[in-house]
Structure 1
Amino acid sequence: MLDGMPRQRGATAPAPAPVGAPPAVRAPRWWHLLPTPAGTPFTFAYVAVLAVTSVVTTLAGPALVHSLHEGSSTDVAHLLRAPVSVLLASAVWIAGGLLSPYALAFVVVLTALERRAGGVRAMGAFLAGHVVATLATEVPVGLAVLFGHLPPTSLHRLDYGISFGVAASVGALAGLLRPWLRWPLLVLVGGALVDDLIAFADPMTNWGHLIALATGVACWPLVRPRRRTAAAIAPSSR
């Protein structure tokens, strides 16, 4: 039973199994951490896409892989020409392949989010973080080039991957957890992202991760199930 979902009062107990019938086989609890076609279709389909692109990255030559990544990059130049298509294309590549830490986080977090919020809401939170964080980090680059603070080559900065969406999914999932787990998760993940920002290795991407996490937190009203009001439940007086 999911957190926050009360047991229905007055429900009848299940009928006992017939004598001699084989015991029901229950899937282990860890199985719910993995996506399934019926239970989490969005996550399952997305993992399948990432598996295909990871195989392409592994088997294709370096020149072809670089060309594919460059064509899917959400740099300023591509965003100005084809913003929608490049935002979608950039989210089908994962740095390091399916064995990377982001891949494991993606599978576990998005599966848990979709099981609790549904596929449409999970997809909305993921895409919101991906799009908002990308624009929040690339628009300042375009303005800096326009005013002469950065060279024109910055318009072609290679940028792709699912990390913004993963960070947003973590933020959204936290809103569906109990407080004793919600706040330690946000502190742990947020602290790690701040630590990366302080290291200043890639400040634009690191700022993007923090923005994506905050976007996921802002999606709590979206992912949390709506509760029917008493007025809606009460029978009509007419």
Structure 2
Amino acid sequence: MVRSWHGILRRAARLLPTPAGTPFTFGYALVLLATSLYAEFGDPRTVAALLHASSTDVAHLSRTPSAALLASALWVAGGLSSPYALGFVLVLTALERRIGAWRTAGVFAVGHVGATLVTQVPVAVSVVAGHLPETSLHRLDYGISFGLLACVGALAGLLGPVVRGAVLVWVGAMLLRDLVAFEDPLTAWGHVLALLIGVAGWPLARRAAGRAAASG
């Protein structure tokens, strides 16, 4: 009985990031913990100003694209109570254990940057064409969800067929619900694109996982 409990605890511990085993996820999680706590307990006006400055809206992307993309990924929309917070820890830990820190960081970055640009460029074009008001250039947009969804897509390709199908069906159903609700179509479509970015990287992720397993 004691041995079985030890085995369960060891398997459960592997779900969480560690400094040695998953340094990227562990370090990034600490940053997100700090910013989330500040967003919860810091001065509301200062927090609002920081979030506005971190927004990846068209106005910020046109002036300081690198700074905006980096700063927006330092916050969790909804804070620690958001499902994105738990999803970040579990998904990125699992992915990093399979393909390594640098490759996991790469998947996250490509999803975050790619989905952001693909969703914001049409906004800029629509404003120039007169189809959207100029206020659309200053839409508040920040968070880790695009990078996280790309990592979900990449991780799915490394799972067994049954689990992979279950994950994709579950996540796909949530994304479809958001699209149908039409409450935030820009973000909803960005989530779909981010997931597809991760899925498109399956061949690379599988080769990386194979190399990591061989060297380990």
TM-score by length of 2: 0.91
**Of 129, 141, 145, the match for 1:147:** 129
Is residue 136 of structure 1 aligned with residue 118 of structure 2? yes
* 8 Å contact kept, 1:171–1:217: yes
For 1:34 and 1:51, the matched residues in 2 are separated by 14
Q: Identity over aligned residues, as a percent? A: 61
Query: Larger % of helix: which?
Result: 2
Structure 1 residues without counterparts, runs of 5 or longer: 1-24, 229-238
1:180 CA displacement: 1.3
- Structure having the higher Rg: 1
Match of 1:38 in 2: 20
Q: Displacement of 1:96 after TM fit?
A: 2.1
By how many angstroms is 1:71 displaced? 0.4
Secondary structure at 2:207 match in 1: coil
Deviation at 1:104, TM superposition (A): 0.4
CA deviation profile, 1:136-167 (whole Å, cap 9, x unmatched): 11101000000001111110000000011111
| Bigger mean CA deviation after superposition, 66-75 or 98-107 | 98-107
Equivalent residue number for residue 209 of structure 1? 191
Number of the residue aligned with 1:224: 206
Aligned residues: 204
Matches within 5 A, 1:1-238: 28-225=10-207
Displacement of 1:195 after TM fit? 1.4
Q: Which runs of 5+ in 2 are unaligned?
A: 1-5, 212-216
Instruction: Give 4+ residue runs of structure 1 displaced > 3 Å after superposition.
Output: none
TM-aligned CA deviation for residue 225 of structure 1: 2.7
TM-score normalised by the chain length of structure 1: 0.83
Q: C-alpha root-mean-square deviation of aligned residues, in Å?
A: 1.4
Answer yes or no: is the 8 Å Cα contact 1:121–1:222 preserved in 2: no
Return the alpha-carbon distance in structure 2 between the equivalents of residues 30 and 78 of structure 1.
Answer: 41
- The Cα shift of 1:183 comes to 1.6
CA distance in 2, matches of 1:31, 1:215: 29
User: What is the CA distance between 1:219 and its match in structure 2?
Assistant: 1.4
Whether contact under 8 Å (1:102, 1:163) holds in the other structure is yes
Shift of 1:224: 1.6
